[in-house]
Amino acid sequence: MSLRQMSIQGLHRCRKACKTALILDSSAGWKLWIALTREEAHRIASELQIESNRPACRCHANSLYALIEGLLSPGGIGITSVILDASGGDMVVATVKMQTGALDTAATCHTADALALAIRLRVPVFATETLAKLVEAKDAGRRQDPLPADAETASWLDKIKPADFAQ
């Protein structure tokens, strides 16, 4: 299976559409936008805070991702990568690749959770060729980002904190 490495660029919030997306860039120049619920965006924002050595919000102190990391580590199981693939109907599915000793295994996972784990554990994210071709075809037909980038949104993103997502 041919894979393309992706890099996580960050969150994009569009006030007009009331949506948040996690943006991933490919080395080929196309972007993958993963639409997030408010709760998913909050969890990812917290992991991005931790990754940049800033404290996460208090409600994220006992993170599910820290629990997963704590359960896997004593058993010598390491998460090695996250693979994103097309699932039809504009859906993206994630597979978390793991390794223990000489044994490689994988498990499907909710896409936002798999990406949050990738951020926390600093493991690479890959897109399958199928997903890449789908995104490239859509980009060729559209040539615009699904969430508009404007000055108001850009300045808001510079100030966003995980606490902004608290209810």
Q: Which amino acid is at 117?
A: L
> Are 135 and 29 spatial neighbours (Cβ–Cβ below 8 Å)?
no
pLDDT tens readout for residues 109-128: 999 999 999 999 999 999 99
Q: In what order do the strands lie in the sheet with 125-128?
A: 31-36, 19-26, 3-14, 125-128, 78-86, 92-100, 103-109
Assigned CATH for 3-160: 3.10.690.10
Residue-averaged pLDDT of the chain: 83
Interval 71-122: pLDDT, tens: 888 889 999 999 999 987 778 999 999 999 889 999 999 999 999 999 999 9
Residue whose tokens read 């996250």: 82
Determine the average pLDDT of the residues in 47-62.
73
Residue 11 tokens, joined:
């969150």
Report pTM: 0.74
Q: CA–CA separation, 21 vs 66, rounded Å?
A: 23
